[in-house]
Each structure stands twice: as C-alpha cells, then as structure tokens.
Structure 1
Amino acid sequence: MNRRTFLHLGLGMAALSAPGQTQARPPLRLTDLPDNTGDFGLARSLLEEGDYVAKIQGRLPPDLQGTLFRNGPGRFDRGAYRKQCILDGDGMIQAFRFAGDGKVRYSNRFIRTSKWKEEEASGSFEYATWTTNAPGGMLFNLGANVANQAGVSVWQRNGKLYAFDEYAKAHTLNPATLETLEEMSPGDVPATFAAHPKRDPVTGQWILFGLQMGPSTTLHLTILDGQDRLMQYRPFTLDKNYYVHDFFVSRNYIIVPLQPAIISVLGILAGTASVVDSMQWQPELGTTLLVFDRKNIAAEPIRLQADPVWMWHSFNAFETSDGEIVADFVGYDAPDHFLGENPAFFAIMRGIHLPFKNEGKIRRHRLNLASRKVRTEILHHGGHEFPQLFSEESMKEHQSGFAVIGNQPGYFPDGIARIDFKSGKRQEFHFGSGFYTGEPVIAPGRSGRKHWVLTLVYDSKMDRSFLGIFDAASIAVGPVCRIWLRHHSPLSFHGDFAPI
C-alpha cells in the first residue's frame, strides 16, 4: 500500500465516522429495479447513433435555416448498473439540420470523452460522476476522481462546437460530423468551466466561469474576445465550498450567486460520497452575490447579501438608469427536487414519479451597489425552468422570455410559456398529460422578420420524441410543425441554434 492510498484510507475512515456525513449512493443494480424502470423515455439510454431524414408533420417554416444542436445525457446504464440521477450520464450531441430544402436531417453522436472510451471498452462503469460513485465501494472511488462526461450544454462559436460538463474542461467537436476533436480549456487558462458561458451580442465577448473544489474552492472567471483570444482571467478563492450552476452578466458587471448549497469535500476525497451526496442546503446562510467589474475582474468584488434561493438557470441581467442591476432568474425556495432523502430527480431512475413541493418561480434581484442592498421579488409563480430570451436582448433590458412550464404542480413540464416582463402578460401552450417539454431554443428566421422556438418533446404514449416548432410571437397557438424522430430522446438539457 503506497502513502497516497494510506492517506485516502485514513480520510475514508474519518468520513465514515464524521457526524452528519451523508453516505454515498452507489450505482443502482439493474436486477434490483422494477421491470417498468425503463418505461419513462427521458430516463432511458439511447445507445444507437443515427443519421437520417426525419418525418415532418405540419408545415416546415421555409426561413428556418441552420442547425439546432442539443446536449444531454444519452447513457445512464452500463453492465449491471444504472446511474442514480436523471441529471447524470454520458454526453450525447443531437443535431437537427434545416438546409432550406424542405427536409430536416437528424443525427446523434456520443462525445468521445476519455471516460466514455474506457467504459465502452470495458463494458462497465469505471469512474465516479457527480451524483453516483463507481461500483466497488470506497477503494474504487478514492481521490475525488470525478469524470468529465461533457453532457450539459453545447455552444457553436467561431466554427467549433463546444460541449461542457459541470466544472471540467470543454470538449470541441466538428459541427458538420459531430466528431469529437479534443478536451481543452478556452483561452488556455488553468481553469475548470461550468456549462453556462455568456455571449455578449454587442462585443462578441465570451464570459465563462467555473468552480474548482479542494480544501478551499476556487472561482475561475475568464473573458475571451470575439475571436476567442484571452482578455482577462482571474482565479478567486471562496470562503466556502459552494455549488453554483449559472451566473449573470450585464454590460458592465459579472454577478456570481453563491447560493447556500455547501459541499463537504471530505467524503468525496475519501471515496465515501459523491458530490451531490456531500451537498447540503443551508438556508440560514442566505445567498451572497459577488459583483465583479467586467472591465477589471482583478478588482475586489462587491459582496451583497440576498435571501436564500436555489437557482439552476438565469434569464438575464441589465443595468438601469438609476444605477441598479436587475437580475432575472428561475428560483426555488429549496431544492427538494434534487437534494434530500428521496428527491424526484433520483426517484425517476427507479421508475417512481414523485412530486416536489418547491417549484421554479420567476424571480428578480434588484442590486443597489450604492446602498449595498438587494431586493428580491417574485414575478411569476408556477413551475418554470430552462429560461431563454432573444439573444439580441442579452445584457440589456429585455422585453420577453421563454421557459418550460408544467400543468401539474411539482412534476416534469409539459408546456412552453412566453413571458412579457414589461406588461406581465404571458402566453402558454400545454401538450397535455404524457408529454414532456425540453428547453425552448430561439432560432432567428433567415428573413429577419420572425423567430421560431424549438423544443424537444417526449411523447410517452408513442414512446417517441419530436421537435416542436413554434412561432415565437404565437406560443399559445401551438406548434406549427413537429419533426418526428424514429425513437425516443433521453432528457436533453441545453441547445444552441447556428443559423446558416
């Protein structure tokens, strides 16, 4: 036994005996699961890679030309085991290509991460991931070797396709073939990256953030110019091991919401707990908003205190004429859908549909830098997620936004909503029971007169998925067209539309 293994074993014993230490969720054994576990398509692997012309139902808008790329977990199972959480799996890129010839070509391909290649060869899980440890117990999970699955978001930029995971390097792909090119760091900085960089529609800048866990957690901020050359980079040490999924960027500021989801790294290092096993919601801490000057991120950030709110995704941030920063987002009073003894996002992997109490409400932070005060208000109640807005409205005051929404409180969404932030009015369309909608991606029409909203929908009765295409101005009318796949699509998180 070498010294490193001995030290990790010592950490493991300490972690097992630590008061309040959550024990790991090992991967689920397929033989222990009910026969209907795989019936819910969003939580079922899609093992085949394909390339075909999809069936069109309805009238395909002729000015919708370009490619919709989507990313999300495509594989949840290997050998005798299954991932614990629907948010965890090997990244798979899906592409819908609109060439303007009245046809839509669909293709999908797994991202060839080093993890995917090794596990494809062995036929079994070899690495811990953020919600699920590797099989074999503590000895097989020592050292916090959490693998990069590249399975959260996808971005087309300067001729390259980027796939991001949570707190890892990016993978680049060939946009035409979906071939994986390399694992890399945008800007060649010594950083990890979260899945939600921001694009400035005026300057072309790309603003990225990431967290790196250790004895202390480091926040990495990176700003690239329109040609992806490094402009600024800053590592910043945080006072606690926070979990942050997304952030805000306005014209002059970067705002990082340190929500009170705190990670204890002891069990992760020792191999006794996954990242999510080690995460605790501590609302008594509140949310700390770090406000960085975009022109000089090396300067000390302003710290503001806000109410405790869990945030997966932001809408937008902008500055007002009276000096406030407005930051809109989807927020939860508590993350009971994700954290706790038996949250919905874990239960679904065992074929169990559980409701959750706290839904995603559209909220607004108003940050007053002069008074160092934050006011938070709820703009819309109901179960929202995956917020989007027109790219040209990013980082300035926005008129409209889009999100998925559920018709039944506390369950997966079945509809799309368009929200007018100035009038408060909204449009909704619900597909109904048995349908599940994905993130609405906004695609500009080639004529410049229209926008289209694209959502990947799972029809559980047909056990197939389709891409619903909406006129962005008339969401309530329903989709003008459905692009049917020959199969289901697992849960797909995020997408990006690249116009021709």
Structure 2
Amino acid sequence: PGGLFDRFTKGLKNAANTSVLAFSDRLLALWEGGHPYALDLETLETQKQDHLENLPDSLPFSAHPKRDPITGNFYNFGVSFGKDTVLNLYCVDSSGKLKQRNSHKLDGFPLVHDFVMAGQYLLFFIPPVRLNPLPLLAKLKSFSESFDWKPEKGTQVLIFDRQSLNLISQGETDPWFQWHFGNACVDQDGNAVVDVIRYADFNTNEYLRQVSTGTPSTSAKSTLWQIRVDPLTGKVLEQREMLDRHCEFPIVPPNQVGQPWQHTYVSLHRQGIDPVTEIFGAIARFDQSKGELVEADCGENCYPMEPIYALDAINANRGWIVTVVYDGNTNQSEVWIFDSDRLNDSPVCRLGLPEVIPIGFHGTWKPAP
C-alpha cells in the first residue's frame, strides 16, 4: 500500500514557500509537505535541504513552528501519508537540532496546516476536510481540488503533553475550518484558551483557487474566535466569536507565545470594500480584554502582507509591526513599520524597495547579532 500512496506524495514539488524559521547560522524556508531548505542568512542563497540533524527523509516539517519564549525550544509537526496517516510531533532546540519526536495516527487523510501551544500543552484542531486520493491518483484533479468538506465528522481535538509529546486527551466539537491560530495559554482554572481564525466551511479552498485566476467570486469569510478547552478531557467548554470582521494571519508578540496575552494582530479588509474581489488592505490590533479594534488602513489599492511583530531589544513590553506593502497606484513595494501601540498613526518609517515584492504568506523577525 505504501507504494500507492507514494504516487501522490513523491510527485509534489517542495515549494518551500510558506514561511521561514531563523536560527543563528541559517534561515530555513518551510513548506508543510517536505523538509525545510536552508538559506544563507546574508545572501539568502539556497544551500540544501536541511534535516535538522535527525529528521528522517520521509517525514515532513510543517510551516508553522512555535517557539517557547522561556526555553527557546521550537515545536512543530508534519503529516505523513501512507498505509496510515500519521501526525509527527517534533521538538527542536534553539540551534536547530531535532532532539525529540513522537507520532499519532489520524483518521483518513485530513488537512492540518497549523497548531497551537498553550503552556505545557500542544493542541490540534483537525477540521472535517479529507483528501480523496482516487481522482488525484487518476490525475483528474489537483491536490487541492481533491479535498472534500465532511461536516458530519466534526472537528477533532487532540491535546499532547509538550514535554513527552504524548497524547493526553482527545475530543470532538462543531465542524469548522481554520488555516491559522493566533495564540493560546492556560488560564487560572487550568483550561486552554485558544485564538483561532475560523471559517464556517471549506469555501476558502475554492476562493484561493479563484484568486490565482484574478476573478474570485466565492465568499469565504473568516473571523476571530476564542475556544476554551479542558486539556485533561479534550472537551470544548466554550466557543465565542471575538471579532466579526473578515480577517486572517493572526500573530502575537513572540515573547507571549503559549502564554497569556492581550493583543492579537491581524490582516483584515478595509471598511466598505467587497471582500470577495479585494484582498486585505489593512492591518489591525485587537485588544482581548477590552474588545477594541485599532486598525491601520493602508489606503486604496495598497495591500499589506501579514503583520510581523518586532520586539524592542531593550523594552520587552513594546515593539513594532512590520509589513511589506504593495502599492498598486505606483506599482512599487515598500516596508512599512508601525509602533505596535499606535497602529492608527502613520507608519514611523517607510522604506522603498528596488523591486516589486509579490504578495506572500508568512515571515519572521530576526534581530541583528
């Protein structure tokens, strides 16, 4: 059976185009279906596939690792297909060496793009999306077109211990789909509180296909939700929508990952535009405790990429939001830098770039040595 499933995994090119992970000696370009590629930190020249010293050739390393701000360790996963679908869990030290891994069998062939860390736990919400391999093997559909929305399966909840990478609990809740989580923490009652950008269905898949054609027509609204889970039972205790604005790409300050936090930064649509035909034209900061939204509207025909939080090296309680903005009015790209506490003010700095930078997915901030 393994040979059959190899037909739809070996034929996929490792795009290494989703995100980046910076270590002291190299930059890793990440893609969820394969190994990272190492780049030179200064020249960005592609060097070779990186095995993190101990990562087997057959195991993928996904594009959304989480760094523990206390220990400096990174946690990540990769889904491998074969006779069984396996969720592989990884712990990587601050130098980029894989020091621990474990695995857990999954039901069917799900689409798992991201996860979240809350204190001593790693949480996965497996959406009811399953790959149908038959049309893919017959070359009748592309990889993304072969995923089916199966709401009757619900959303599966898997909670792992961060130290051992062993499964603690599992549960099931309402069907939804998510690409990205913002953050999570353990509250004073011992429950996990999770920020997620949530879709009611899987229309986002068709919308993204249409975006690449330049003529999108499918609505796929995503909003910011908070989920409260008992980590010892996997039971979802509470779900509530925090922000009813179409948004994506949530981030928090890197020193608050897995810890209590107040502000979530997102990309979102400008007020008054058609969210189907326009892409994100603003970034914003949502205050969890006050329910307040402060946004930076980048202007007509200007499109920012995912906000990136750059910590102040002297004061860990402040920082800057960095984004690359494409200006469709001038056909130019610029780096815009905002004070993270004053997003509604003008950028504190705008840096013109010599070439247009295509709209991308994710990035990271690495301070100069």
Task: Answer yes or no: same fold by TM over 0.5.
Answer: yes
CA distance, structure 2, for counterparts of residue 201 and residue 404 of structure 1 = 24
* Aligned match of 1:157: 23
Q: Is the 8 Å Cα contact of residues 144 and 269 (structure 1) preserved in structure 2? A: no
Selected match of 1:337 from 195, 198, 204: 204
Give the superposition deviation at 1:348.
Answer: 3.0
Give the superposition deviation at 1:261.
Answer: 1.1
User: What pairs with 1:88-487 in structure 2 (closer than 5 Å)?
Assistant: 144-190=10-56, 191-297=59-165, 299-339=166-206, 343=207, 345-354=208-217, 356-370=218-232, 372-374=234-236, 375-407=238-270, 408=273, 409-410=275-276, 411-448=278-315, 450-487=318-355
Q: Which amino acid aligns with 2:253?
A: F
CA distance, structure 1, for counterparts of residue 163 and residue 311 of structure 2 = 30
Q: Which amino acid aligns with 2:197?
A: V
* Aligned match of 1:18: none
State the SS of the aligned residue for 1:277: helix
State the SS of the aligned residue for 1:337: helix
Q: Is the 8 Å Cα contact of residues 170 and 233 (structure 2) preserved in structure 1? A: no
State the SS of the aligned residue for 1:267: helix
Q: Which amino acid aligns with 2:251?
A: Q
Q: Is the 8 Å Cα contact of residues 113 and 180 (structure 2) preserved in structure 1? A: yes
Structure label with greater radius of gyration: 1
Change (3 A) 1:199 1:143: closer
Q: Which has the higher contact order (CA 8 A, sep 6+)?
A: 1
State the SS of the aligned residue for 1:498: coil
Q: Which amino acid aligns with 1:362?
A: L
Q: Is the 8 Å Cα contact of residues 143 and 269 (structure 1) preserved in structure 2? A: no
CA distance, structure 1, for counterparts of residue 185 and residue 318 of structure 2 = 24
Give the superposition deviation at 1:477.
Answer: 1.1
Q: Deviations over 1:62-81 (max 9, x none)?
A: xxxxxxxxxxxxxxxxxxxx
Q: Is the 8 Å Cα contact of residues 171 and 182 (structure 1) preserved in structure 2? A: yes
Q: Which amino acid aligns with 2:202?
A: P
Q: Which amino acid aligns with 2:79?
A: L
CA distance, structure 2, for counterparts of residue 463 and residue 269 of structure 1 = 41
CA distance, structure 2, for counterparts of residue 326 and residue 251 of structure 1 = 10
Q: Which amino acid aligns with 1:246?
A: D
Q: Deviations over 1:221-277 (max 9, x none)?
A: 011233334332112221211001100112211111111111112333343332211
* Aligned match of 1:124: none
Give the superposition deviation at 1:478.
Answer: 2.8
Q: Which amino acid aligns with 1:477?
A: D
Identity of aligned residues (%): 29
Where does structure 2 lack aligned partners over 5 or more consecutive residues? none
Moved more, 213-222 or 141-150: 141-150
* Aligned match of 1:19: none
CA distance, structure 2, for counterparts of residue 188 and residue 231 of structure 1 = 8
Change (3 A) 1:370 1:250: closer
State the SS of the aligned residue for 1:244: coil
CA distance, structure 1, for counterparts of residue 299 and residue 14 of structure 2 = 36
Q: Is the 8 Å Cα contact of residues 324 and 334 (structure 2) preserved in structure 1? A: yes
State the SS of the aligned residue for 1:274: coil
Give TM-score scaled by structure 2 length. Answer: 0.91
Q: Is the 8 Å Cα contact of residues 268 and 284 (structure 2) preserved in structure 1? A: yes
Q: Is the 8 Å Cα contact of residues 248 and 317 (structure 1) preserved in structure 2? A: yes
Q: Deviations over 1:64-102 (max 9, x none)?
A: xxxxxxxxxxxxxxxxxxxxxxxxxxxxxxxxxxxxxxx
Change (3 A) 1:369 1:206: closer
Where does structure 1 lack aligned partners over 5 or more consecutive residues? 12-140
Give the superposition deviation at 1:186.
Answer: 2.4
Aligned residues: 358
CA distance, structure 2, for counterparts of residue 421 and residue 254 of structure 1 = 22
Change (3 A) 1:271 1:251: same
CA distance, structure 2, for counterparts of residue 434 and residue 369 of structure 1 = 44
CA distance, structure 1, for counterparts of residue 9 and residue 348 of structure 2 = 51
State the SS of the aligned residue for 2:144: coil
Q: Is the 8 Å Cα contact of residues 169 and 232 (structure 2) preserved in structure 1? A: no
Q: Is the 8 Å Cα contact of residues 331 and 363 (structure 1) preserved in structure 2? A: yes
Give TM-score scaled by structure 1 length. Answer: 0.68
CA distance, structure 2, for counterparts of residue 310 and residue 439 of structure 1 = 20
CA distance, structure 1, for counterparts of residue 184 and residue 303 of structure 2 = 29
State the SS of the aligned residue for 2:134: helix
CA distance, structure 2, for counterparts of residue 211 and residue 239 of structure 1 = 12
Q: Is the 8 Å Cα contact of residues 168 and 232 (structure 2) preserved in structure 1? A: no
